[in-house]
């Protein structure tokens, strides 16, 4: 699938039914315990999500950190997790939008797709969001730190493309220093560059 078509479909589908996706380290279950799923939703969005909710997380790695992790490809990362009830549906659909600055490549890169609740394969007691990019673009798993103040992002591979230049692609793969990212919860204004429509922007401003 051509990247411009993918982006158009993905953005349009934020208001539609989220598809089931699979991502590394987690697998979707036919029957996730609803209480546990509801708890993850409440902790992720700091409240029950209702009809729409957004959560923003970010990390910029300073020179000292990058000097200690010379193989790390990521210089900065921000994550927007969204939940909403699409028109005509009764259940929440989940999506993600990732923004990435790469250490040795200029420009702002991004990726987006859909999420579902999943049991973590490396910790059966934990539910995470398993998020995937369409057209076999890989994906991420998103969990929360114990204090709910940070998102723990795990990846094996995810396709990225340059913001507003969808034919300029990159791929971020898990490496020695690019397996797990801890992103701090931040004010919603930090994620406005990742918002796809006015309704999402208005929801953030109301928080």
Q: Residue 16 has what pLDDT?
A: 34
**pLDDT band at residue 153 using 50, 70 and 90 as cut-offs:** very high
- Percent pLDDT > 70 in the chain is 79
| pLDDT for position 195 | 82
Give the pLDDT mean for 147-170: 91
pLDDT tens string 174-200: 988 899 999 999 998 889 888 865 445
Q: Which of 110, 136, 103, 153 is nearest to 22 (CA)?
A: 136
**How many structural domains is the chain composed of?**
1
CA nearest to 53, candidates 44, 61, 65, 62: 44
CA-CA-CA-CA dihedral for 19, 167, 188, 118, to nearest 10:
30
Which pLDDT score is estimated for 200? 52
Mean pLDDT, the chain, integer: 82
Tell me the whole-structure pTM to 2 decimals.
0.81
Segment (H or E) for 131: strand 123-132
Say how many CA atoms lie within 13 Å of 65 toward its Cβ: 13
CB 203 within 8 A of CB 192: no
pLDDT tens digits for 10-34?
Answer: 433 333 333 334 344 444 444 678 8
Percentage of the chain modeled with pLDDT above 90: 60
Print the domain residue range for 174: 3-205
The answer to whether residues 150 and 81 touch, using CB atoms and an 8 Å cutoff, is: no
Check residue 31 and give its pLDDT: 61
Give the chain's length.
207
């Amino acid at each position: 699938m051509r990247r411009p078509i993918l982006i158009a479909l993905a953005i349009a589908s934020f208001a539609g039914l989220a598809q089931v996706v699979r991502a590394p380290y987690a697998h979707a279950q036919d029957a996730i315990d609803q209480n546990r799923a509801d708890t993850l939703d409440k902790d992720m969005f700091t409240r029950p999500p209702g009809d729409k909710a957004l959560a923003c997380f970010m990390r910029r790695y300073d020179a000292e950190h990058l000097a200690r992790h010379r193989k790390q490809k990521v210089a900065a990362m921000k994550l927007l997790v969204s939940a909403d009830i699409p028109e005509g549906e009764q259940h929440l659909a989940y999506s993600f939008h990732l923004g990435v600055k790469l250490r040795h490549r200029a420009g702002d890169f991004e990726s987006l797709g859909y999420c579902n609740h999943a049991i973590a394969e490396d910790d059966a007691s934990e539910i995470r969001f398993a998020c995937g990019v369409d057209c076999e673009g890989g994906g991420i798993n998103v969990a929360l730190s114990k204090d709910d103040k940070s998102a723990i992002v795990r990846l094996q591979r995810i396709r990225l493309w340059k913001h507003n230049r969808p034919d300029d692609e990159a791929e971020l793969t898990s490496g020695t220093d690019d397996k797990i990212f801890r992103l701090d919860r931040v004010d919603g204004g930090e994620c406005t560059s990742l918002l796809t429509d006015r309704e999402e922007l208005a929801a953030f401003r109301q928080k």
